[in-house]
Structure 1
Amino acid sequence: MLLEIVSPEAKLFSAEVTSVTLPGVDGSFQILNNHAPIVSILEKGVVKITASNFTFAKEVASKFTKLDAQNYTLAINSGTIEMKDNKVIVLVD
């Protein structure tokens, strides 16, 4: 599935991923390939991205923390997410 993470300043990430775990207002939740359509509000926490390879623009790479070769995290203050047709768009603050 395609994951796009966008902040008011820049597009932080755009790539095919295996899964993404997000900090929802009622707790953390994970989205996998072919997930049902969803729109949700996010709260302060960590977005965990799992993919086979990662490429970040130099100006945003420092915002991500590497856990291992297939997992990175991004700390956010709040945001919203939309999942539709195997495309996840995350708007973050």
Structure 2
Amino acid sequence: MLLEIVSPEAKLFSAEVTSVTLPGVDGSFQILNNHAPIVSILGKGVVKITASTFAFAKEVVGKFTKLDDQNYTLTITSGTIEMKDNKVIILVD
């Protein structure tokens, strides 16, 4: 599925991913390929991205933390998510 993470300053990430785990306001949840459409508010926490390969722009690479070759995290204070037709868009603050 395609994941895009956008902040007010720039597009932070755009690539095919295996899964994304998000900090919902009522607890964390995970989105996988072919997930049902969803719109949700995100709380403060960590977005965990799992993919087979990663490529970050030089100006945003410092915002992400590498866990291993297939997992990176991004700490957010709040945001919203929309999942539809295997495309996940996360708007973060």
TM range (shorter): over 0.9
Percent of residue pairs identical: 90
SS at match of 2:62: helix
Q: CA deviation at 1:75?
A: 0.2
Q: CA deviation at 1:56?
A: 0.2
TM-score by length of 2: 1.00
The separation in 2 between residues aligned to 1:44 and 1:25, in whole angstroms, is: 8
Which residue does the alignment assign to 1:90? Answer: 90
Q: What is the Cα-based RMSD across aligned positions, in Å? A: 0.2
The separation in 1 between residues aligned to 2:39 and 2:23, in whole angstroms, is: 13
Moved over 2 A (4+): none
Q: CA deviation at 1:13?
A: 0.1
Q: CA deviation at 1:8?
A: 0.1
Structure 2's unaligned 5+ residue stretches are: none
TM-score by length of 1: 1.00
Query: Could you report, residue by residue, the CA deviation over 1:53-72 in whole angstroms, capped at 9, with x for unpaired residues?
Result: 00000000000000000000
SS at match of 1:62: helix
Structure 1's unaligned 5+ residue stretches are: none
Query: Could you report, residue by residue, the CA deviation over 1:27-60 in whole angstroms, capped at 9, with x for unpaired residues?
Result: 0000000000000000000000000000000000
Q: CA deviation at 1:78?
A: 0.1
The separation in 1 between residues aligned to 2:26 and 2:45, in whole angstroms, is: 12
